[in-house]
Structure 1
Amino acid sequence: MKWVTHSEIDEALANTLLALATPALPQHFSSLVKRLAAFDNLIIIAYHGEHRPAVLYREYTDPVVYLPMDSQYLGGDYLLDPFYREHLRGDAQGIRRLRDVAPDHFRRTHYYKNYYQQTTLLDEVAVFATITTDVTLTACLGRDRSSGKPFNKRELEVLQQYAFTLSSLLKKHWQDYRFEGVIKASPAPLEERLREALNQHHSIRLSPRQAEVALFILRGHSSLSISLHLEVSLQTVKVFRRQLYAKCCISSQAELFALLMPLFAQLTEHK
């Protein structure tokens, strides 16, 4: 592996600063980050509240990595993305590695198996920048089948060393960014939208708590993880799950995914 000198990083940073407020910024930002940690793909996404996100920039080595982006991710799968959940928590800044913020059973989810594996991504790290109370930018750099290996410890340490700089560059460049849907009313909470869609399409009436548990399961939380988030006992979570499955006339997590995932595209259509 070729070691990058401090002078090379300094030159890339200077070029990025000069490109602020110009269309060339994303390419220079990419060049800077590559000197800190080489990646196979990069996508910059703007999240606005619970509205559908917008892609501001993307580049890749293997085009397959973003083939399902527009139809699946932006079509509703983003609602289950751990990085999207980080945005919703508010005031997200710095570096996040997907495997560090994903729920404990993330790899068992429909989102992981039917979207994430399609992309061939092996590892993903995001630079977060909060633009306003509603708008968060993420620059997600990934390793996919092109290189066939995750980020190593040294690369992650270097990215952390420059976390504030990278976040600040994104924030400065897009400081005036406003999402196109900002004038629209904020959508109802996701749990409420899910309950409405289930009732409308399947005549299934879930309680708010049952809908909340369903979403935790879809995101990849184990029963133990759900109990910790809801601050209830593990036995109480098991009761909620049994009630949820009984109302939906199902007996497995796979059946829950099959029932709910087709509804997610409708949950993103805010009128």
Structure 2
Amino acid sequence: MTGKEIDPLFADAVRALGTARFAEALSALVRQLAAFDNLIVIAYSGEQRPEVLHREYTDPVVYLPMDSQYLGGDYLLDPFYQQHRQGEVRGIRRLADVAPDRFKRTNYFRNYYKQTTLLDEIAVFAPVNATVTITACFGKDRSSGSPFSQRELKALQRQQGTLSALVETHWRAYRPAQTPQIQTVPLSDRLRDTLEKERGVHLSPRQAEVALYILRGHSTLSIGLYLDISPQTVKVFRRQLYAKCGISSQAQLFAMMMPLFSRLTDKSAAGS
């Protein structure tokens, strides 16, 4: 893609900043870099439920489970959401590059992600303040039936600073309906509290952490690296976790935990 082809579209996106036409202009600019089937712009605010700011698609099936499942709590297992939680993430991220090593084996992937028919996603990350990240997620789904090519990925990476700056500038005044809590009760603690109250299951802090890593798609080795413990210790925590929950598989863990996730987002305030 030549600079001459990009320049008019970039100029149009700049002119559209602060107007209702910006998302359309951004879409047109990105299409010159990489073909995509769908676009969704999401605002992540701390650990609150995300807000969808814009969406467009070729096949409406791609977003059918979005409002009920993803926004209902599944986003807590989303690799892109985990990028937001790291803080101050800018530029391009491809889902395949940031997802945990066992992501495609998770029930989150099988029960939610596959419903969308998405084959590939690339997101532009733009933090607008200490707690809010705007992501513009460009996806390839069954409409085209193929992932992004390396040429498309490289074209987006070359422009990632520009794209991130445009998104950040346009939505820099965005504020969520409720101000996100700066200090929050860790998700693992909220999970422990809810599980004990609703299921009578008492987990230790480490067992709850291991449960979340399993649900997100991390292998035993990956969990050990993140928690700085040996793989054998991870296996011990996993066995203890399954025994306390009265289960024997990740699928059963997912079935037990996921109905609780919609309540976890309502307990983010410190001391709640």
TM-score (norm 2): 0.96
In the TM superposition, what is the alpha-carbon distance from 1:183 to its structure 2 partner? 6.2
Structure 2 counterpart of 1:215? 212
Q: Matched residues in 1 for 2:217 and 2:182: separation?
A: 29
Structure 1 stretch displaced more, 246-255 or 55-64: 246-255
Q: Bigger shift: 170-179 or 53-62?
A: 170-179
Deviation at 1:6, TM superposition (A): 2.7
Partner residue of 1:178?
A: 175
Distance 1:82 1:19 in 2: 30
The answer (yes or no) to whether the contact 1:194–1:267 under 8 Å persists in 2 is yes
Are residues 1:81 and 2:78 paired? yes
Q: Determine helix, strand or coil for the equivalent of 1:95.
A: strand
Unmatched tracts of structure 2, length 5 or more? none
* 1:52 aligned residue: 49
User: Could you tell me which of 117, 120, 139 is aligned with 1:142?
Assistant: 139
Q: Which amino acid aligns with 1:219?
A: R
Q: 1:188 aligns with which of 185, 188, 194?
A: 185
In the alignment, the residues of structure 1 paired with residue 243 and residue 175 of structure 2 have an alpha-carbon distance, to the nearest angstrom, of: 44
Q: Distance in 2 between matches of 1:197 and 1:68?
A: 24
Aligned pairs (5 A) from 1:158-177 = 158-177=155-174
User: What is the alpha-carbon distance in structure 2 between the residues aligned to residue 262 and residue 186 of structure 1?
Assistant: 25
Residue by residue, what CA displacement relative to the aligned partner does 1:27-79 show, whole Å, maximum 9, x if unpaired? 00011011110100000000001111100000000000000000000000000
Contact 2:79–2:95 (CA under 8 A) maintained in structure 1 = yes
| Pairs aligned (count) | 268
What residue identity is the alignment partner of 2:251?
A
Query: 1:23 is aligned with what amino acid?
Result: A
Matches within 5 A, 1:1-271: 4-182=1-179, 187-270=184-267
Q: Is the 8 A contact 1:50 1:186 kept in 2?
A: no
Instruction: Say whether the 8 Å CA contact 2:89–2:127 is kept in structure 1.
Output: yes
Q: 1:185 to 1:95 in 2, by over 3 A?
A: closer
Task: Find the aligned partners of 1:183 and 1:227 in 2 and give their Cα distance.
Answer: 31
Task: Return the alpha-carbon distance in structure 1 between the equivalents of residues 25 and 216 of structure 2.
Answer: 34
Give SS of 1:268's match.
helix
C-alpha distance in structure 2 between counterparts of 1:111 and 1:83, whole Å: 14
Contact 2:223/2:234 (CA < 8 Å) preserved in 1?
Answer: yes
| CA pair 185-98 structure 1, distance change in 2 beyond 3 A | closer
Counterpart of 1:192, as a letter, is D
Which residue type is aligned with residue 247 of structure 1?
A: K
Residue 267 of structure 1 and its aligned partner are, at CA, apart by 1.2
Question: Which amino acid is 2:245 matched to?
Answer: C
SS in 2 for 1:181: coil
The 10-residue stretch of structure 1 (144-153 or 172-181) with the greater mean CA deviation from structure 2: 172-181
- Percent identity over the alignment is 62
User: d(CA) in 1 for partners of 2:214 and 2:148?
Assistant: 28
In the alignment, the residues of structure 2 paired with residue 130 and residue 257 of structure 1 have an alpha-carbon distance, to the nearest angstrom, of 31
Question: Alpha carbons of 1:183 and 1:64: their partners in 2 closer, same or farther (altered >3 Å)?
Answer: closer
Q: CA RMSD in A?
A: 1.2
Q: Is the 8 A contact 1:49 1:186 kept in 2?
A: no
SS of 2:142's equivalent in the other structure is coil
Q: TM-score, normalising length from structure 1?
A: 0.96
Maintained 8 Å contact 2:131/2:182: no
Q: Which amino acid aligns with 1:221?
A: H
**What is the distance in 2 between the residues matched to 1:74 and 1:47?**
11
Please list every run of 5 or more consecutive structure 1 residues that lacks an aligned counterpart in the other structure.
none
